[in-house]
Amino acid sequence: MTTRIDTRFAELKKAGRAAFVTFVMAGDPDPATSLEIIKALPKAGADVIELGMPFTDPMADGPSIQAAGLRALKAGMTLKKTLELVRGFRKDDNTTPIVLMGYYNPIYIYGVDKFLVDAKSAGIDGLIIVDLPPEEDDELCLPAMKAGLNFIRLATPTTDDKRLPAVLANTSGFVYYVSITGITGAAAADSTAVGEAVARIKRHTKLPVCVGFGIRTPETARSIASHANGAVVGTALVDALKNSLDADGHATGKTVNAVTELTAALAQGVKGAQQAAE
Amino acid sequence: MNVVKPNSYRSGPDERGHFGIFGGRFVAETLMPLILDLEKAYTEAKADPAFQIEMNGYLKNYVGRPSPLYFAERLTEHLGGAKIYLKREELNHTGSHKVNNVLGQIMLARRMGKKRIIAETGAGQHGVATATLCARFGLECIVYMGAVDVERQQPNVIRMEMLGATVVPVQSGTRTLKDAMNEALRDWVTNVHNTFYCIGTVAGPHPYPTLVRDFQSIIGNETKAQMQEIEGRLPDSLVACIGGGSNAMGLFHPFLDDSTVEIFGVEAAGHGLTQLHAASIAGGRPGVLHGNRTYLLMDADGQITDAHSISAGLDYPGIGPEHSWLHEIGRVNYLSATDDEALAAFQLLSKLEGIIPALEPAHAIAKVMELAPKRTKDHLMVVNLSGRGDKDVPQVGDILRGKSK
């Protein structure tokens, strides 16, 4: 089964450049503004959209993404509304892949089977669930594959060669390499080490490898993208959004542009990598 | 749910860390290799007689074990029913049962060559025990504690700092125990190479619920031998309070297959089960948090909701996975006690026995006050007095003075 993710990476491979993957939190700072933002992302240069599912206890996230999740929850966001958001996005865009990223509990409570049906029909292409390692594949990974959704796994600096095959076994769409040991928004990634790690993963898989955690600037995005099939930026976009809010945490006239302008600058960085690599 | 009674209640978990549907390893990939290493190290340590011999030495001479099994004569007379025994875990070094588990984990950390220890704490009892053993063995110690708990458990914060630990007040979320655990996990995922996460209760990803249970089972094993010596038989019932549930599991586990022994766990009902509380089994349902599937307090969307208890040590929206299983399978009865009931029990035990309990086991005493009068005089009831109340004296003093105004 070919998903929008597979199609998008095949196109990018043909074009000879890396993917720019953007992360924003669904419903941040409110559902209506959030829909405007994700609708504007592809035009600003996003090749793949990762949409965070808000959760009260995001154990692998730093303060910025924790706060984004809490803003969304405060604005009434739920998993059901996240699926509606994607439905809204798909009215105008049937090609940009959408990957939901978050934690398992809201999906478990929604009901795995019902969630997979609803997610597929809403136009979601893949899932990244931080707290579901391969040891728990029965929970969601295998049912998601059957339902035609990519289950994108995180590989980390602690995933050694012995463990990699287990991590890659049921992974599809792409592999998300977490460039640091740590939480989102932490220290910047070292591009040489990232290059070696991506090469190591590529010895085990034909899937595209995207790199995230620690990428904040167009320069870092460029250097990471020259070593990988894609660069993921989350915290920097979430921070730009937050800085555009008023004192009560509500959206202002600048909010959508704050995200799209940084997206455009970062996308330039990623596209620059193609030349650097050639 | 169809529940098949097992041949033994003590054989869990399976090799993937499951107790029935509960437990498991729901953690980020970064932590998975560490958890597998820990499991391997623990399996090796268990098989190494030298590990047990060394631990027994410290349990005897440093912790002060065995803790007495004490006949609470005046409480028994006052309640007029069952013969009540207190398992005196509050007499351990550091003042609670927490030290039993910390000693085991710190010895594992030493075997694994880890020099930096992190811990979460609610009431501060686990934090104090961890800080104490880190001081004893010369290890760096960082304790994460919710900012709300830092306020209400000042004596323990000061103790930890005196012992050389760094106490980090956690400002995220509800600023209590669950947030402290989130922050400890964030630290661990960042400092994977040199850090050992010393979890304080029978929760978290496999193998933590098992290894904490095993280290705490000394409570039940001693109780069994002591009761045999004093009364010549098994007790008829066991009562213990439950936040995550480590003191309860430690007392209960050795008795699970003794079918004549009634077992009661007591959750914190806070302001009452229809209001803010911390009773995951009474008011929650199965979900996934902090590395395991277990009963949790949450809303319809699967968002974790605020717990409340007068006792910082019980103020947690979850419970150890093995307790969830023992509840579903019907081996243990889970009850709950409110803040007010715990306060009344706190005062009663202080005045009748000259023992000031921590607010946590005061919840267990509160249910003993209900259960004991309904039992006959030859009924032997053991309650785990898991901690002493020194840390709670300022807080309870304020509440009682406020009430008497």
**Integer Cα distance of A142 and A140 in angstroms:** 6
**Integer Cα distance of A56 and A63 in angstroms:** 12
Tell me the per-residue pLDDT of B197-225, one tens digit each, with 9 for 90 and over.
999 999 999 999 999 999 999 999 999 99
Of the candidates A78, A133, A183, the beta carbon closest to that of B189 is on A183
- pLDDT at site B404: 53
Tell me the per-residue pLDDT of A26-58, one tens digit each, with 9 for 90 and over.
999 999 999 999 999 999 999 999 999 999 999
Q: Give the closest residue to B354 by CA, choosing from B389, B384, B322.
A: B389
* Interface predicted TM-score (ipTM) of this complex, two decimals: 0.95
Tell me the per-residue pLDDT of B231-246, one tens digit each, with 9 for 90 and over.
999 999 999 999 999 9
* Residue contact B32–A108, C-beta within 8 A: no
Beta carbons of A85 and A38 less than 8 angstroms apart: yes
Q: How many Cβ atoms sit within 10 Å of the Cβ of residue A242?
A: 17
Burial class (CB in 10 A: 0-12, 13-18, 19+), B221: middle
Q: How many Cβ atoms sit within 10 Å of the Cβ of residue B273?
A: 14
- pLDDT at site A274: 60
Would you state the structure tokens that stand for residue A213, as one six-digit string?
A: 């955690």
Average pLDDT over every residue of B109-127: 96
Tell me the per-residue pLDDT of B25-59, one tens digit each, with 9 for 90 and over.
999 999 999 999 999 999 999 999 999 999 999 99
Query: Residue ranges of the alpha helices (H) in A91-207?
Result: 104-110, 112-122, 141-146, 164-169, 191-202
CATH class of the domain whose range is A4-277: alpha beta
Q: For the residues of B250-317, what is the DSSP string, one character each?
A: HHHGGGTT-TT-EEEEEEEEET-TTSS---HHHH-EEEEETEEEEEE-B-TTSPBPPP--SSGGG--S
- pLDDT at site A185: 83
Q: Give the closest residue to B112 by CA, choosing from B49, B177, B44, B171.
A: B44
Residue A155 phi/psi, 5-degree rounding, is -110, 145
Tell me the per-residue pLDDT of B297-309, one tens digit each, with 9 for 90 and over.
999 999 999 899 9
- The residues, ordered by sequence, that sit 6+ positions from A130 with a Cβ below 8 Å of its Cβ are A58, A59, A60, A101, A102, A103, A154, B28
Residues of A in contact with B28 (CB under 8 A): 59-60, 130-131, 133, 154, 156
Q: How many Cβ atoms sit within 10 Å of the Cβ of residue B151?
A: 14
Q: Would you kindly state where each structural domain of chain A is located, as residue ranges?
A: 4-277
* Residue contact B303–A158, C-beta within 8 A: no
Residue type (1 letter), B350? S
Show pLDDT as tens, one digit a residue, over chain A (278 residues).
789 999 999 999 999 999 999 999 999 999 999 999 999 999 999 999 999 999 999 999 999 999 999 999 999 999 999 999 999 999 999 999 999 999 999 999 999 999 999 999 999 999 999 999 999 999 999 999 999 999 999 999 999 999 999 999 999 999 999 988 888 887 777 888 999 999 999 999 999 999 998 899 999 999 999 999 999 999 999 999 999 999 999 999 999 999 999 999 999 999 988 644 43
Q: Give the closest residue to B303 by CA, choosing from A27, A84, A86, A139.
A: A27
Q: Is B300 on the interface with A (CB under 8 A)?
A: yes
Strand order of the β-sheet with B140-146 is B166-170, B140-146, B116-121, B195-197
Dihedral sign (CA B181, A65, A143, A116): positive
- pLDDT at site A204: 96
Assign 3-state DSSP to chain B and report helix, strand, coil percentages, each to 5: 50, 20, 30
- pLDDT at site A277: 45
Residue whose token pair is 């005062």 = B347
Q: Give the closest residue to A79 by CA, choosing from A135, A129, A139.
A: A129
**Integer Cα distance of A36 and A39 in angstroms:** 5
* Residue contact B289–A57, C-beta within 8 A: yes
Q: Is A169 on the interface with B (CB under 8 A)?
A: no
Q: Give the closest residue to B318 by CA, choosing from B291, B285, B288, B296.
A: B296
Q: B interface mutation test: which of A78, A138, A181 has the most B CBs within 10 A?
A: A181
SS3 A97: coil
* Residue contact A57–B304, C-beta within 8 A: yes
Over 50: is that where the pLDDT of B13 sits? Answer: yes
* Residue contact A73–B28, C-beta within 8 A: no
Q: Is B189 on the interface with A (CB under 8 A)?
A: yes
Residues in a beta bridge with B26: B291
Beta carbons of B79 and B376 less than 8 angstroms apart: no
Parallel/antiparallel/unpaired status of strands A19-25 and A48-52: parallel
Higher pLDDT, B403 or A10: A10
Beta carbons of B120 and B181 less than 8 angstroms apart: yes
Radius of gyration of chain B (CA): 20
- pLDDT at site A275: 44
- pLDDT at site A189: 74
Give A 174-193 residues with CB within 8 A of chain B. Answer: 178, 181-183, 186
Would you state the structure tokens that stand for residue A94, as one six-digit string?
A: 């049937």
- pLDDT at site A278: 38
Angle between helices B321-329 and B208-216 (to 10 degrees): 80
> DSSP strand E in A40-116: where?
48-52, 98-102
**Integer Cα distance of B96 and A215 in angstroms:** 46
- pLDDT at site A1: 73
- pLDDT at site B1: 52
**Integer Cα distance of B229 and A243 in angstroms:** 69
Cα-based angle B17, B23, B25 (whole degrees, multiple of 5): 65
Q: Is A112 on the interface with B (CB under 8 A)?
A: no
Q: Is B137 on the interface with A (CB under 8 A)?
A: no
